[in-house]
Amino acid sequence: MGAWGPGHFDNDGALDFVDDLLDAPAANRVDLVRRLLVRAVDTEGYLEIDAGSHVVVAAALIAAQCPGGEPVSDSRWPLEPLPAFPDDLRSLAVEALDRVLADGSGLAELWSETASAEDWRREVLLLRRVLDQPMPGEVPLFEV
């Protein structure tokens, strides 16, 4: 995987997923993201580098629609709007990000060998935090 920074879109795998998403009919994009996240969560054993990179991009796209989420301002994203992701994808994206950060993740292993490892991990954890917040009007069942 070629990477030029720790940002969510700063690697070849991320851009490959963006291309796949844009090549899909607009009506199928939410399902494509859902299937990707489910596949990552359900993967036993080693999670491939590209699969992890795709999860991070999908999570960033979902988080862009959440309070506190960073807008997708990457110059490679087209001017067309993002699909409206349903709220249930937020918790699925959190699970998938946990898988990306866990032992047995090729992406986490690859980043751990670089000088930018902490920057990358911090970016992914910030993304996770945005996704894991209650939406406005949502009442938490209990406080932790």
Q: How far apart are the first and last CA of the chain?
A: 38
pLDDT of 127 strictly over 70: yes
Q: What is the CA radius of gyration of the chain?
A: 15
pLDDT of 79 strictly over 80: no
pLDDT of 70 strictly over 90: no
In Å, what is the CA distance from 1 to each residue of 6, 39, 52, 81? 12, 20, 11, 28
Structure tokens at 128: 């996770």
The whole-number pLDDT of residue 130 equals 96
How many degrees, rounded to 5, is the angle at CA 130 between CA 126 and CA 134?
A: 150
In Å, what is the CA distance from 32 to each residue of 23, 35, 57? 11, 5, 12
* Residue among 103, 111, 126, 122 at smallest CA distance from 11: 111
Reported as a single tens digit per residue, the pLDDT across 24-43 is: 998 999 999 999 999 999 99
Mean pLDDT (whole number) for 57-68: 92
DSSP 16-68: HHHHHHHHS-GGGHHHHHHHHHHHHHH--SPBPHHHHHHHHHHHHHHHTTSTT
The whole-number pLDDT of residue 81 equals 73
Mean pLDDT computed over every residue of the chain: 86
Structure tokens at 103: 């032992």
The whole-number pLDDT of residue 54 equals 94
The whole-number pLDDT of residue 8 equals 72
Which of these ranges, 5-14, 18-27, 46-55, has the smallest mean pLDDT?
5-14
Higher-scoring residue by pLDDT: 25, 6:
25
